[in-house]
Amino acid sequence: MAYRDFQHFLDVLDSKGELRRIREPISPNLEITEIADRVMKKNGPALLFENVVGPPHRLGTPNPRSAIMGEASIHTASPSTDVRYSMPVAINTLGSERRMAMALSCESFEEHADRLRALLKPEVPSGKLEALKKLPHLLGEIKNVPPKTVNKGICQEVVMMGDDVDLTKLPILTCWPEDGGPFVTLPLVFTHDPNTGKRNVGMYRIQLYDRNTTGMHWQMHKTGMRHMEDAGAKQRRIDVAVCLGGDPCYAFTAISPLPPGIDEMLFAGFLRRENVWMVPCKTVDLKVPADCEIVLEGYVDPSERRLEGPFGDHTGYYSLAGDFPVFHVQCVTMREKPMYPATIVGIPPMEDGWMGKAVERIFMPLIQLTVPEIVDMNLPVDACFHNVAFIAIRKKFPGHAYKVMNAVWGLGQLSFTKMVFIFDEDTNVQDIGEVLFRLGANCDPGRDVLVSRGPVDQLDHASMAEGFGGKIGFDCTHKWPGENGFSRDYPKLIRMSDDVRTKIDGLWDRLGL
């Protein structure tokens, strides 16, 4: 099912026993994080904080020296009474396999993977009659995919411009003690390519600086940064819209590794099987989903930078402060009674783990289109996804594992993967115990290792330079004669004979074991 809006999704979670309402007064300054972190670690429910009360936001720019040391130095607001925020905060709404599947309007992630696979590799019909039979299914998949422009939406029931804009009235979370300030953690950032006009939607954290100014954490490898640089080359600033809420599938599309040129809102229509209704912004030349809770409209000047961070990040460590673009907010629109969607990141597992696992499963057909020998892949949540990949392949020739390693390091966001482990196709790479058994049994560190270098996540603090570092691949497959100097007979994996297994299967229920 497609959701009418974010609050519809919360209502469905509530009806399914997946939502807990918190009526105690809780502060957005660290307290929501502490509660949510404990719940996420237990694979607990979504949370709706209905009574958000706390001290005024701590605003200011970190001291440069403190930023280098990874310590926050904040200009604290003068003491005053607590602020009672006018909107509830929803968090951990995507923090389980079930809720993530519900957000994507499916029973399981494989459902969308199969739909993508059918579109990417359609079977050629044997005749006109078969073609006519397949046509309704194909049309059903694509007819409601393109976004649709409408004149109005709930996201613009309230409009604030100029001096009425005050972001400090939003219950923006200060997540961790050494964060540089409050951060919007679940934003959908809309920009257009200045050269082609094509839309991009990304998820880039934004730090609250003051009532109408934030940071914009566009990293060096991100499309938002490309758009800003291209606008700078034309000596123009770039329009930006930041959306909160809407159909929960929007958050997934914002982090999805889509092929270049594929519109995130087009993909959202595919996932929800209904068009995304888009409404023109009030002050910038952009369109945003009409069902969002809150929209921030403004611009980024490519020539302007400001110190952003530190921030307790998905790596489990604080990303240090650095100079990043500045987002100037000229207009805020919202629905009449909005809810504020948020998440937190930190030492895994966290809510983003299920978002990443959905990416892994749903985009497997795209990966296999480029590297068809891949049978399965596991990007472990505890390794923050981009650090480690366990991959099973259909091995067809000596050195095949090395081919796949190099292919992975040249494939979109998988190029950030630091450690790649390649296994035979009969290895269940989703089973860490089996992975460790095969790794220990089949990999000789003196022979089966490939060391390389390339781009890494800009937030990787262990790399040799920012955004650039080492790679290592491990061939954990059974070795073929002559492969990489291997000249011994390779033993067989221990397996019970099929007839004995079948016999014991028939007896099993009677054995009482």
pLDDT digits over 173-224, tens only? Answer: 999 999 999 999 999 999 999 999 999 999 999 999 999 999 999 988 888 8
pLDDT (0 to 100) of residue 140: 56
DSSP string spanning 285-344? S-EEETT-SEEEEEEE-TT--EEE--EE-TTSSEEPPEEE-EEEEEEEEE-SS--EEE--
Q: Which fold has domain 6-342?
A: Pnp Oxidase; Chain A (2.30.110)
Q: What is the pLDDT of residues 466-485, one digit of tens each?
A: 888 899 999 999 998 878 77
pLDDT (0 to 100) of residue 122: 57
CA Rg, the chain, in Å? 25
pLDDT (0 to 100) of residue 15: 97
Residue 412 is classified by DSSP as G
Query: Dihedral sign, CA of 272, 275, 280, 284?
Result: positive
Residues of the chain with CATH 3.40.1670.10: 371-485
Give the integer Cα–Cα distance in Å for 141 and 277.
17
pLDDT (0 to 100) of residue 76: 43
Q: Which of 49-58, 174-183, 373-382, 481-490 is least confident?
A: 481-490
The better pLDDT of the pair 314, 90 is held by 90
Residue 313 known to be catalytic = yes
Query: Dihedral sign, CA of 124, 127, 133, 136?
Result: positive
- Whether domain 371-485 has CATH 3.30.70.2190: no
Instruction: Flag whether pLDDT at 131 surpasses 80.
Output: no
Spot the catalytic one: 313, 352, 376, 460: 313
Compute the average pLDDT of residues 362-372: 92
Q: Using CA atoms in the order 58, 30, 13, 350, what is the torsion angle rounded to 10 degrees?
A: 120
Q: What is the pLDDT of residues 96-113, one digit of tens each?
A: 999 999 999 999 999 999
Q: Which of 79-93, 194-208, 416-430 is least confident?
A: 79-93
Q: 22: pLDDT confidence band, cut at 50, 70 and 90?
A: very high
Q: 65: pLDDT confidence band, cut at 50, 70 and 90?
A: very low
pLDDT (0 to 100) of residue 454: 87
Residues of the chain with CATH 2.30.110.10: 6-342
Q: What percent of the chain has pLDDT over 90?
A: 75
Q: Residue 63, Cα to own-chain centre: how many angstroms? A: 30
Contact 400, 448 (CB under 8 A): no
State residue 262 phi and psi, 5-degree precision: -85, 125
State residue 499 phi and psi, 5-degree precision: -65, -35
DSSP string spanning 12-48? HHHHTT-EEEE-S-B-TBTHHHHHHHHHHHTT--EEE
